[in-house]
Amino acid sequence: MKKTYGYRLRTYLNATHAMRWENSDGATHPHTWEIICKVRQNNDDEFLRFNEIEAAIQEVVTPLQGRLLNNVAPFTEINPSLENLGDYFFDEIDAHLQKLDCYLEQLEIGESPTRFFRVTRGEQ
């Protein structure tokens, strides 16, 4: 039987944003976004250190802590919606994980305990 191994890590982003609607901008408001990352190795022969994976994730998340996301690229051009945040974090975190010879299999991001958005790696 072939086994595969993976990691699941959770972090939080405290920041504010305002949605852009067709005729106006919404009110600026804060969130504590919950970000859950499922990480897989390219090589299952050795295990990774959790702190290395966490550091790669934090390289992406930490610069956004406490910020108004509307003023941070790429959200100066695109709406800082839950879906766009999820897509952005998936691509950026995955790029940082590649340096550790692993990849992001799935990312979930929630703006409340009842509202989550999921991005999953498609077939290669």
How far, in Å, CA of 55 to CA of 80, rounded?
A: 24
CATH number (domain holding residue 31) = 3.30.479.10
Q: Is residue 97 part of a domain?
A: yes
Instruction: State mean pLDDT over 84-109.
Output: 97
User: pTM for the complete prediction?
Assistant: 0.92
Q: Is residue 95 part of a domain?
A: yes
Q: How many domains does the chain have?
A: 1
In sequence order, which residues have a C-beta less than 8 Å from that of residue 106 and are 6 or more positions away?
Answer: 37, 38, 118, 119, 120, 121
Q: Is residue 102 part of a domain?
A: yes
Q: Is residue 1 part of a domain?
A: no
Q: pLDDT tens digits for 4-20?
A: 889 999 999 999 999 99
The one-letter code for the residue type at 16 is T
Q: Where are the beta strands (DSSP E) in the chain?
A: 6-17, 29-41, 102-112, 115-120
